[in-house]
Amino acid sequence: SLKGKTAVITGSNSGIGLGVARELARAGADVVLNSFTDRPEDHALAAALGAEFGVTARYIKADMSQGAECRALVAQAGRCDILVNNAGIQHVAPVDQFPVEKWDAIIAINLSSAFHTTAAALPLMRAAGWGRVVNIASAHGLTASPFKSAYVAAKHGIVGFTKTVALETAEEPITCNAICPGYVLTPLVEAQIPDQMKVHGMDRETVIREVMLTRQPSKQFATVEQLGGTTVFLCAEAAAQITGTTISVDGGWTAL
């Protein structure tokens, strides 16, 4: 059980981050949810999660594109036994047409935020005598696709960062690993299915198989619950000697 541990999950008011937060809470951890908004529904989401699993759940607003706010998130959490660097955005364009501000935002949110939160969290983990850093990278941390230069660069970068942090903490009861999801069925992805059905004149199953999951040999999406379960495993005693590596949850994508 993760009772007594506090988990900070960046970018967790939707999608994978929320799924990871739910599984950590189910395992008994107190959780800190985060995004860059500060709406009543963000705080209500945390309250509902806390009530459902009988843990303390808070929502803290912090913009992961800003280094100082990344560090403030961890400081405001007060404890950070488990840090899940999940916040991320995407933009698709050829390199020579890639908007500079999109490049900068992707590198800041998908890569540099993890540097800032990890730098702030390690002293808290050392003081507590235990820690887990879990970086949500991507199959694009290990392979590339055209038109996703910033995303692929940031995700390869976070895999390298993961290895470095693991070496720096190797003799301590702290581990640092990256999870590399393939295509995950989040509300964002689900919302694209009707449009793709129209554009290609295909039914739902065909769009999923032939358009969305062409690179995922299982022809199935990974789920946010599976990513949450993988995160909980990395926090378990069984995973205490797993550090500085990647775990792919991609239906065979990177085996191709």
Which residue among 6, 65, 117, 230 contacts ligand NAD (CB under 6 A)?
65
Q: With CA atoms as reference, report the closest residue to 151 among 161, 160, 141, 159.
A: 141
Element (H, E) at 67: helix 67-77
Single-letter amino acid code for the residue at 17:
G
- Provide the minimum distance between the beta carbon of 193 and ligand NAD in the complex, in angstroms, as a whole number: 13
Near ligand NAD in 7-36, by CB under 6 A: 11-17, 35-36
By the 8 A CB rule, do 174 and 133 touch?
Answer: yes
Contact window for ligand NAD (CB under 6 A) among 59-67, 122-130, 193-201, 231-239: 59-67
CA dist list (Å): 40 to 46, 61, 188, 201, 215: 10, 11, 21, 40, 39
Q: Which stretch binds ligand NAD (CB under 6 A): 45-53, 80-88, 142-150, 160-168?
A: 80-88
Closest separation in Å from C-beta 222 to ligand NAD: 8
Q: What is the sign of the dihedral through the CA atoms of 185, 36, 157 and 98?
A: positive
- Give kind and range of the element (H or E) at residue 212: none
d(CA 48, CA 247): 30
Nearer to ligand NAD, 35 or 177 (CB): 35
Q: In this chain, which of 138, 169, 231, 248 binds ligand NAD, going by CB under 6 A?
A: 138
Tell whether residue 189 is a contact of ligand NAD (CB under 6 A).
yes
The answer to whether 157 contacts ligand NAD (rule: CB under 6 A) is no
Number of residues in contact with ligand NAD under rule CB under 6 A: 26
Query: What SS3 class is residue 56?
Result: coil
| Residues in contact with ligand NAD, shown as a per-residue x/- string from 209 to 248 under the rule CB under 6 A | ----------------------------------------
Smallest distance, ligand NAD to C-beta of residue 173, A? 26
Q: Which of 101, 97, 253, 90 is nearest to 183 (CA)?
A: 253
Q: Does 60 bind ligand NAD (CB under 6 A)?
A: no
107 lines the binding site for ligand NAD (CB under 6 A): no
109-142 burial: b if 16+ Cβ within 10 Å, else e: bbbbbbbbbbebbbebbeebebbbbbbbbbbbbb
Q: Does 183 bind ligand NAD (CB under 6 A)?
A: yes
Residue ranges in contact with ligand NAD by CB under 6 A: 11-17, 35-36, 63-65, 86-89, 109-110, 136, 138, 181, 183-184, 186, 188-189
